[in-house]
């Protein structure tokens, strides 16, 4: 097949953004067009602003977010080279992030400084949608220092800054036209560079992708692992802080789970959700992956394009989330471990997605004593004591502003709102704040509405803390300590394989001859909790879960290998929460250690694909006995 005949697909048909190389100051911008575009995420120093890549497939670019929990974050700055110094109109791409709720106050306000002079406009104050806000006319020097100055610490956001010599020029607000402009100004209309050729290309570095990549590499495959964050682990990383559950190492394949065990230690005292960052062991995962000589790790790369022909993938395009550099990563087999079925959607894999009444997203959070405020001021927004939920009494007041733009919980119930006294009782209530059940978006589109869902989680957190401190007068000396800005996702696309595992299969304990990974979690589905629904219909933020009769089964239940490869893309595997299951069955398979075991199976199957020069389906049809032999041995490092 001629490469020219192969389709280059991009996510949601919008071309993603590319920015100038990070940390090259002053930045070289070709302004022969009279336009100079600076991507915020490519600022040489991002200060306390964080790079948010979660929505780049449909908004065209990552952006910088001032995630300060109410304390303004440190300035971001960069130097920009102007080949034609002089007068320019400056535009800032931003939005008022609470405008979708018509909420007052514009908490995401920030300023822009040029060579130390603050522009008159305050940004982030208008518009529910991403758009260019006019910053007026400025004088740019050959090397101009740009500084982004956060005013509130409440989730201000900036995508890009554009300078136009033509003072009447109006940049396109979005869509194909903006993508085209970015392409022209930043050079990403050029071909991506060659990112190498691999046996297995794994996209998504959650637990499923990481175990798959390590397993396949150990079994002789040349593997690329593409992950859009700087750490591995997905929801189990320190960025999201969910503790991995599910049981591993069951008969008749007691070594399935050995790689999971290397990545995740056994649960101990103090382990759980939304705790201190160290317990999630990012380094342990990174070190294990880096130790594999056959494994190439592409961190901070988002896979957002593909080269594919009818039912077969040739390559994926990986874009660096700060510099925008793009490379084409070629492979024989691909694994979609993105959780969202991103690669499957790009290449036309069959999938299902529950539109209404699916599980929502959470942004876990916790609170702490005020002495640790200096960490926030340093914009690390982190904690350093081993038990983040330890309630330490402090004498220093920690005022928190009223948040009229947040979910108004002044006179509404929410978990953690009962106790009026400090001490043991309020400890129990503090642990009710920011847990897994602070969840939104049950009826929203899991992919295109994600930013709104994440933002509603943040509005609920700020509203609850405002109510506790400023209405109830509780916790005068405590502060918001940590909150995830990366949304913890549970459910979106489920890619369809030769078998679609159903809830009934679990109830009936339906046996499969290709039984491959043991499931031990009950059918755990989430929905809005009635007790907290009133007044928040459509924007519920507290969930309940299914339990009891009808949701239990006699585990471990061994689910089939055939749910781990696509039924219509011949070289595509799946592992993790985007495998071939129904909404109901997802409730059982989605816990992380189970997802990790799926990854082990895919790694083994990929090694057999290489050995036999065949596709995933042939492993079931022709080489199942060999897969089972590998499953008996496992891929752990321990000698057997
Ligand atoms: C709040 C919450 C509580 C939960 N509670 C538990 C619990 O207690 N125990 C438990 O075991 N499970 C729990 N779960 C479920 C569990 O976290 C998920 O089902 C599990 O993480 C799925 O693993 P995964 O590897 O498939 O996906 P993820 O963990 O979502 O990882 C996917 C990774 O791929 C990356 N990625 C996505 N798209 C791309 C792309 N295009 N290019 C590059 N990288 C990409 C993402 O950034 C992410 O890091 C919970 C989930 C949530 C949200």
Write the burial class of residue 197 (CB in 10 Å: 0-12 exposed, 13-18 middle, 19+ buried): middle
CA angle 82, 66, 230 (to 5 degrees): 85
**CB neighbourhood size of 210 (10 A):** 32
Q: Answer yes or no: is the C-beta of 246 below 6 A from any ligand 1 atom.
A: yes
List of residues 6+ apart from 540 with CB closer than 8 A: 440, 442, 528, 529, 532, 533
207 lines ligand 1 (CB under 6 A): yes
Alpha helices in 195-319 (DSSP H): 207-218, 258-263, 282-290
Check pocket membership of 358 for ligand 1, CB cut-off 6 A. Answer: no
DSSP track, 68-114:
-TTSPPPPEEEEEE-SS-EEEEEEEEE--TTGGGT-SS-TT-EEEEE
Q: 359 C-alpha vs ligand 1 centroid, how far in Å?
A: 13
Q: Find out whether the beta carbon of 260 lies less than 6 Å from any atom of ligand 1.
A: no
Q: Ligand 1 pocket: which of 300, 339, 361 to mutate (most atoms <8 Å of CB)?
A: 339
Strands 76-81, 143-150: pairing kind: antiparallel
In the reported structure, the alpha carbon of residue 485 is separated from the centroid of ligand 1 by a whole-number distance in angstroms of: 14
Give nearest CA residue, ligand 1 atom 47. 228
The full DSSP string for 273-287 is TT--GGGG-HHHHHH
CB 45 within 8 A of CB 147: no
* Per CATH, domain 17-186 is 2.40.50.140: no
Nearest residue (CA) to ligand 1, atom 26: 576
Rounded distance between C-alpha atoms, residue 85 and residue 64, angstroms:
26
CA angle, 557 then 563 then 567, to 5°: 160
Using the atom order of ligand 1, give the atom closest to the CA of residue 592.
11
Q: Which atom of ligand 1 is nearest to the CA of 11?
A: 41
Q: Is 441 in the pocket of ligand 1 (CB under 6 A)?
A: no
Atom of ligand 1 nearest to the CA of 226: 43
Please tell me the residue having the least CA distance from ligand 1 atom 3: 436
Give the 3-state secondary structure of residue 436.
coil
Query: For residue 591, which atom of ligand 1 is closest to its CA?
Result: 11
In this predicted structure, what is the pLDDT of residue 292? Answer: 98
Q: Do 612 and 623 touch, CB atoms closer than 8 A? A: yes
How far apart are the CA of 596 and the centre of ligand 1, in A? 11
pLDDT value at position 9?
A: 39
Of 591, 324, 273, which Cα lies nearest the Cα of 435? 273
**Whether the CB of 89 sits within 6 Å of ligand 1:** no
Report the atom number in ligand 1 closest to the C-alpha of 204. Answer: 34
| 254 CA from centroid of ligand 1 (Å) | 25
Residue that has been written with the tokens 């793009």 in this structure: 326
CA–CA separation, 604 vs 620, rounded Å?
A: 12
pLDDT digits (tens, 9 = 90+) for 227-261: 999 999 999 999 999 999 999 999 999 999 999 99
Atom of ligand 1 nearest to the CA of 244: 11
- Give dist(CA 194, CA 188) in Å, integer: 14
Q: CA separation (Å) from 5 to 1, 200, 282, 314, 329?
A: 7, 23, 42, 12, 18
Instruction: Let me know how long the chain is.
Output: 640
Domain range annotation of the chain:
17-186, 200-355+490-500+561-633, 361-483
pLDDT of residue 148: 98
50-52/63-67 β-pairing:
antiparallel
CA 531 to chain centre: 29
Residue 110 to residue 133: CA distance in whole angstroms: 12
Q: Where are the beta strands (DSSP E) in 250-352?
A: 295-298, 301-309, 312-320, 326-336, 351-352
Q: How far is CA 295 from the centre of its chain?
A: 22
- The CB of 234 under 6 Å from ligand 1? The reply is yes
Cα separation of 363 and 384, whole Å?
A: 20
The residues near 528 (Cβ < 8 Å, ≥ 6 apart) are 442, 540, 542, 543, 544
Which whole-number Å values give the CA distances from 322 to 23, 94, 157, 253, in the listed order?
A: 10, 17, 15, 42
Instruction: Tell me if 510 sits within 8 A of 585, measured CB to CB.
Output: no
- Cα–Cα distance for residue pair 313/316, rounded to 1 Å: 8
CB-facing half-sphere around the CA of 130: CA atoms within 13 A:
22
DSSP structural state of residue 119:
P
Percentage of residues of the chain with pLDDT beyond 90: 83
Question: Could you tell me the distance, in angstroms and rounded to a whole number, from the CA of residue 207 to the centre of ligand 1?
Answer: 8
Q: Which atom of ligand 1 is nearest to the CA of 209?
A: 25
Beta-bridge partners for 309: 312
Nearest protein CA to atom 53 of ligand 1, as residue: 488
Exposed/middle/buried for 523, CB within 10 Å: 0-12, 13-18, 19+?
Answer: buried
From ligand 1's centre to the CA of 577, what distance in Å? 7
Which residues are registered as beta bridge partners of 527?
Answer: 544
- Which residue out of 244, 338, 494, 520 has the highest number of ligand 1 atoms within 8 Å of its CB and is therefore the one to mutate? 338
* Shortest-distance Cα residue to atom 52 of ligand 1: 488
Taking the centre of ligand 1 as the mean of its atom positions, its distance from the CA of residue 229, in whole angstroms, is: 12
With a 6 Å cutoff on the Cβ, whether 200 touches ligand 1 is no
Taking the C-alpha atoms of residue 398 and residue 372, their distance in angstroms, rounded to an integer, is 11
Q: Please state, in angstroms and rounded to a whole number, the distance separating the CA atoms of residues 322 and 45.
A: 11
Which ranges of the chain have pLDDT less than 70?
1-32, 369-395, 419-428, 638-640
How high is the pLDDT of residue 487? 98
pTM of the model: 0.93
pLDDT of residue 266: 93
Task: Tell the residue nearest (CA) to atom 19 of ligand 1.
Answer: 590
Q: Which residue of 62, 204, 275 sits with most ligand 1 atoms within 8 Å of its CB, as the best mutation to test the pocket?
A: 204
State the closest ligand 1 atom to the C-alpha of 487, by its place in the atom list counted from 1.
53
For residue 579 and ligand 1, the question of a CB distance below 6 A is answered with: no
Ligand 1 pocket, residue 204 CB under 6 Å: yes
Q: How many helices (H) and strands (E) does the chain have?
A: 14, 29
**Structure token pair of residue 138:** 């400025």
- Which one-letter DSSP state was computed for residue 488? B
Q: Which of 235, 590, 593 to mutate to test the pocket of ligand 1 (most atoms within 8 A of CB)?
A: 235
Q: Which of 439, 390, 370, 304 is nearest to 70 (CA)?
A: 370
Q: What fold, for 200-355+490-500+561-633?
A: FAD/NAD(P)-binding domain (3.50.50)
Handedness of CA 434, 435, 438, 442 (dihedral sign): positive
The response to whether residue 326 sits with its C-beta less than 6 Å from ligand 1 reads no
What separation in angstroms does the CA of 292 have from each of 160, 301, 325, 576?
38, 19, 25, 22
Say yes or no: CB of residue 489 within 6 Å of ligand 1: yes
- Report the C-alpha gap between 28 and 310 in whole angstroms: 40
Residue-level pLDDT at 11: 34
d(CA 541, CA 129): 22
CA of 344 to the centre of ligand 1 (A): 17
Q: Is 92 in the pocket of ligand 1 (CB under 6 A)?
A: no
CA angle 103, 106, 112 (to 5 degrees): 165
Residue 341 near ligand 1, beta carbon < 6 Å: no
Put residue 137 in one of left, alpha, beta given phi > 0 → left and psi -120 to 50 → alpha: beta
Q: Is the CB of 101 under 6 A from ligand 1?
A: no
> From ligand 1's centre to the CA of 488, what distance in Å?
7
Q: Do the Cβ atoms of 314 and 422 come closer than 8 Å?
A: no
- Whole-number Å distance, alpha carbon 304 to ligand 1 midpoint, is 18
CA angle, residues 366, 372, 374, in degrees to nearest 5: 120
Whole-angstrom Cα distance, residue 479 to residue 367? 6
Tokens 């911008």 identify what position? 29
Q: Is the CB of 438 under 6 A from ligand 1?
A: no
């Amino acid at each position: 097949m001629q490469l020219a005949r192969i389709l280059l697909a991009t996510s949601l048909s919008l071309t993603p953004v590319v920015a100038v190389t990070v940390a090259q100051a002053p930045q070289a911008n070709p302004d022969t067009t009279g336009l100079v575009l600076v991507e915020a995420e490519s600022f040489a120093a991002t200060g306390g602003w964080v790079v948010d890549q979660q929505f780049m497939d449909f908004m065209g670019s990552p952006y910088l977010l001032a995630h300060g929990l109410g304390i303004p974050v440190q300035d971001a700055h960069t130097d920009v080279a102007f080949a034609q110094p002089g007068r320019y109109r400056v535009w800032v791409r931003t939005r008022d992030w609470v405008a979708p709720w018509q909420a007052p106050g514009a908490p995401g306000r920030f300023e822009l400084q040029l060579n130390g002079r603050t522009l008159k406009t305050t940004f982030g104050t208008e518009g529910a949608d991403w758009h260019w806000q006019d910053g007026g006319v400025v004088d740019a020097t050959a090397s101009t220092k740009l500084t982004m100055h956060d005013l509130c610490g409440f989730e201000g956001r900036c995508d890009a800054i554009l300078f136009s010599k033509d003072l009447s020029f109006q940049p396109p607000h979005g869509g194909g036209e903006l993508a085209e402009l970015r392409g022209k100004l930043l050079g990403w209309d050029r071909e991506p560079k060659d990112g190498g050729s691999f046996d297995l290309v794994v996209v998504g570095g959650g637990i499923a992708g990481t175990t798959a990549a390590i397993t396949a590499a150990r079994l002789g495959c040349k593997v690329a692992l593409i992950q859009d964050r700087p750490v591995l682990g997905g929801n189990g990383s320190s960025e999201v802080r969910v503790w991995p559950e599910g049981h591993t190492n069951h008969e008749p394949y007691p070594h399935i789970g050995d790689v999971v065990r290397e990545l995740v230690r056994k649960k101990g005292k103090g382990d759980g959700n939304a705790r201190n960052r160290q317990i999630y062991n990012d380094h342990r995962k990174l070190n294990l992956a880096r130790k594999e000589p056959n494994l190439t790790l592409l961190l901070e790369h988002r896979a957002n394009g593909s080269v594919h022909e009818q039912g077969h993938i040739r390559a994926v395009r990986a874009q660096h989330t700060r510099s925008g550099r793009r490379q084409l990563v070629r492979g024989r087999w691909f694994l979609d471990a993105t959780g969202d079925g991103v690669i499957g959607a790009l290449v036309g894999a069959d999938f299902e997605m529950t539109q209404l009444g699916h599980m929502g997203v959470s942004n876990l959070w916790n609170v702490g004593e005020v002495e640790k405020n200096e960490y926030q001021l340093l914009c690390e927004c982190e904690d350093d004591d081993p038990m983040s939920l330890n309630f330490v009494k402090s004498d220093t007041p920690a005022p928190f502003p009223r948040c009229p733009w947040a979910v108004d919980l002044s006179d509404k119930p929410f978990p953690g709102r009962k106790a009026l006294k400090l001490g043991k009782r309020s400890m129990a209530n503090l642990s009710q704040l920011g847990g897994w059940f602070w969840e939104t978006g049950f009826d929203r589109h899991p992919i295109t509405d994600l930013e709104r869902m994440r933002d509603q989680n943040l509005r609920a957190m700020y509203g609850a803390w405002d109510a506790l401190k400023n209405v109830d007068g509780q916790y005068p000396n405590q502060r918001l300590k940590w909150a995830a800005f990366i949304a913890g996702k549970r459910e979106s696309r489920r890619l369809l394989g030769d078998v679609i595992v159903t809830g009934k299969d679990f109830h009936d304990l339906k046996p499969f001859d290709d039984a491959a990974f043991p499931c031990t979690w009950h059918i755990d589905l989430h929905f809005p909790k009635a007790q907290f629904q009133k007044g928040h219909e459509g924007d519920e933020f507290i969930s309940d879960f299914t339990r009891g009769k009808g949701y239990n089964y006699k585990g471990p239940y061994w689910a089939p290998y055939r749910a781990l490869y696509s039924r219509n893309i011949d070289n595509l595997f799946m592992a993790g929460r985007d495998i071939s299951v129904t909404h109901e069955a997802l409730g059982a398979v989605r816990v992380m250690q189970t997802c990790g075991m799926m990854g082990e199976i895919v790694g083994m199957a990929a090694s057999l694909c290489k050995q036999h020069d065949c596709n995933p389906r042939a492993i079931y049809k022709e080489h199942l006995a060999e897969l089972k032999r590998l499953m008996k041995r496992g891929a752990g490092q321990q000698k057997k």
